[in-house]
């Protein structure tokens, strides 16, 4: 508790800055509902009224995107992650999140030297023949410099910005606190699971801060594509790689967004599109380890219709079970099997509450829409958008690994269509889907599944006497407990308690009315305004009781 308080005190200036931006972009009401009114007292002074009037007329998605840009690297990264959550946000929000760019002014090379000397044990100018002090690219977390090894090999130095870790950690603490407040204070925000989203984002961003982890990602992809001559993955030079810098082979080729140069070089764009599609689909369905952002800026085209992939800071991982679910979904669509698609979607929703009948009707409508469409004519990006729309309408949230996958597939299809207007990603999917399905029923796969099932069954049977013995010992010691988790039981009990209180007050009020009426007919005793005093007091108490009962009923009906 003390440590948390110290963190809050240390982050108070940053919290004030975040709150001020909230107000500037028209989210002051949310900030007040979150209980940070104390921070708001000075925030109004920094606002330009004319600018505020202009901003307040913008669409909410635009205001959120501009606020994230003003708040800096952590929030820009968060927006880029939210751009993958097509299951949570409608298309107009995704479009705005996708506009967020992490390009920032570069840090002077002199400011990078202290951490480089600490990581290398010597000045980089002593280790490398040459280091270009002007970066060729600069982003929110790292910037890229060209260099040359002592043997003349051209390399790329990806260097983390100094002190960025402390700034990001402060922002992540504040984001975690805001997410908890959103989930507890704003019921309409709970369907977006802010605590879970921020927790996943924090893990992802901390991994991205470790440039040695990116280097390990590169090595893994290089191993997976060692036998593929059409795909080049840069080599990592581990001797000089650390958490603050990684050293990679320099790839010289045509950037993926320079199609004019691709044509001038005589490269076949159809072959390049097919090569990229096959490479990413192999990552997803065969390896279960994929580049999560295969946009043109992360691809170079090489002579011989080859390609190189760069920037492996963001990668996705898929379990064998998840890959099978994806294959089952695509196979069900091809066979017009709506029940198969529904089964996969229900597996993805986990324990979420869902109207099975309504979900089944929506899936049936989706399948009917593709009934007369050949598989080769299906645009995967449109199909995925329709699936996520169904999920969103039912307030269902996709697992985080699938949101990255969906985003990667949509980006890949866009990249392919830039190279080849007739490109259809779904046609490249077919061979991989067929391969995965065939491998399920090979003798070795059937044998392995049988061994696994037998092992689980054997473990259950052999462990039964031990479990029964433990249960009997706990019963003898009086430690046996049964935990019942009955949802809303406390709320139900409170309702009964309030109803009983109102019933008691109603009986008491009725008794007062009857008793006072009898007293009013009895002569003698003290009077007020010519009427028996005790009768008047009884009627007065009955009146106030009646008002309380009516108000209590009215208030409960409003909740």
CA distance 235 to 332: 40
Looking at residue 106, what DSSP letter applies?
P
Domain segments of the chain: what residues? Answer: 103-250, 316-440, 447-482, 495-558
Q: How many whole angstroms from its chain centre is CA 303?
A: 38
- pLDDT at residue 524, as a whole number: 65
Mean of the per-residue pLDDT values of the chain: 79
The model's pTM is 0.70
For the cut 90, the answer to whether the pLDDT of residue 238 exceeds it is yes
CA distance 276 to 280: 6
For the cut 60, the answer to whether the pLDDT of residue 88 exceeds it is yes
- 222-236 per-position pLDDT tens digit: 999 999 999 999 999
Q: How many CB atoms lie within 10 A of CB 246?
A: 28
- Collect all residues with Cβ–Cβ distance below 8 Å to 182 and sequence separation of at least 6: 34, 189, 194
Task: Name the more confident of 334 and 249.
Answer: 249
Q: What are phi and psi of 34, to 5 degrees?
A: -80, -5
- Nearest-5° Cα angle at 254, 309 to 314: 25
* Nearest one of 433, 449, 432 to 441, comparing CA atoms: 449
What is the full DSSP assignment across 391-447?
HHHTT----HHHHHHHHHHHHHHHHHHHH-TT--HHHHHHHHHHHHHHHHTSHHHHH
- Nearest-5° Cα angle at 210, 209 to 212: 150
Band (1; pLDDT cuts 50, 70, 90):
very low
* Strand ranges inside 78-171, DSSP E: 130-131, 137-138, 142-148, 154-160
Here the tokens at position 431 are: 């061979």
- pLDDT at residue 31, as a whole number: 58
Q: Of residues 87, 171, 293, 362, which has the active-site annotation? A: 293
Here the tokens at position 537 are: 């007091």
- Collect all residues with Cβ–Cβ distance below 8 Å to 285 and sequence separation of at least 6: 323, 326, 327, 432, 433, 435, 436
- 24-51 per-position pLDDT tens digit: 777 666 655 555 544 444 444 444 444 5
Q: Is 490 a catalytic residue?
A: no
For the cut 60, the answer to whether the pLDDT of residue 53 exceeds it is no
């Amino acid at each position: 508790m003390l440590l948390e308080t110290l963190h809050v005190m240390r982050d108070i200036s940053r919290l004030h800055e975040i709150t001020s931006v909230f107000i500037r972009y028209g989210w002051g009401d949310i900030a007040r509902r979150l209980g940070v009114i104390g921070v708001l007292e000075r925030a109004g002074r920094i606002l330009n009224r004319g600018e505020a009037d202009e901003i307040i007329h913008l669409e909410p998605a635009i205001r959120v995107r501009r606020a994230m840009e003003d708040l800096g690297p952590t929030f820009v990264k968060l927006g880029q992650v939210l751009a993958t959550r097509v299951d949570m946000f409608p298309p107009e929000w995704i479009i705005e999140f996708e506009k967020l760019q992490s390009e920032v002014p570069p840090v002077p090379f002199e400011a990078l030297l202290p951490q480089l000397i600490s990581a290398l044990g010597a000045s980089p100018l002593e280790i490398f023949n040459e280091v270009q002090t002007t970066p060729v690219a600069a982003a929110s977390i790292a910037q890229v410099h060209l260099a040359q090894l002592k043997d003349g090999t051209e390399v790329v130095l990806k260097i983390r910005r100094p002190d960025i870790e402390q700034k990001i950690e402060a922002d992540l603490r504040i984001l975690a606190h805001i997410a908890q407040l959103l989930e507890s204070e704003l019921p309409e925000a709970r369907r977006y699971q802010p605590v879970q989203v921020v927790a996943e984002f924090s893990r992802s961003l901390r991994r991205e801060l470790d440039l040695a982890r990116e280097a390990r990602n590169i090595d893994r992809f290089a191993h997976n594509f060692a036998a593929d001559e059409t795909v080049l993955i840069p080599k990592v030079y581990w001797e000089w790689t650390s958490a603050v810098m990684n050293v990679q082979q320099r790839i010289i080729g045509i950037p993926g967004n320079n199609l004019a140069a691709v044509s001038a070089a005589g490269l076949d764009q159809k072959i390049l599109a097919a090569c990229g599609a096959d490479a990413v689909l192999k990552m997803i369905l065969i390896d279960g380890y994929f580049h999560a952002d295969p946009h043109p800026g992360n691809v170079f085209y090489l002579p011989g219709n080859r390609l190189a992939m760069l920037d492996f800071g963001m990668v996705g991982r898929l379990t064998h079970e998840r890959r099978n679910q994806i294959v089952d979904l695509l196979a069900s669509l091809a066979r017009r099997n709506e029940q198969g698609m529904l089964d996969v979607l229900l597996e993805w929703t986990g324990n979420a509450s869902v109207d099975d009948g309504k979900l089944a009707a929506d899936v049936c409508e989706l399948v009917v829409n593709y009934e007369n469409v050949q598989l080769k004519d299906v645009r995967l990006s449109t199909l995925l958008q329709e699936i996520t729309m169904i999920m969103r309408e039912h307030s269902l949230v996709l697992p985080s690994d699938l949101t990255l996958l969906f985003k990667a597939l949509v980006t890949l299809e866009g990249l392919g269509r830039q190279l080849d207007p007739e490109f259809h990603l779904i046609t490249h999917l077919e061979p991989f889907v067929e391969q995965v399905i065939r491998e399920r029923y090979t003798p070795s796969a059937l044998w392995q599944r049988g061994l696994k099932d037998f092992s689980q069954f054997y473990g259950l049977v052999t462990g039964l006497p031990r479990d029964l013995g433990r249960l009997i010992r706990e019963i003898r010691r009086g430690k046996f407990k049964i935990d019942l988790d009955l949802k809303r039981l406390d709320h139900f009990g409170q309702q009964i308690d309030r109803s009983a209180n109102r019933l008691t007050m109603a009986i008491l009020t009725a008794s007062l009315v009857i008793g006072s009426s009898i007293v009013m007919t009895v002569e003698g005793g003290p009077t007020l305004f010519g009427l028996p005093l005790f009768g008047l007091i009884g009627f007065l108490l009955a009146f106030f009781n009646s008002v309380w009962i009516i108000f209590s009923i009215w208030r409960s009906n409003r909740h």
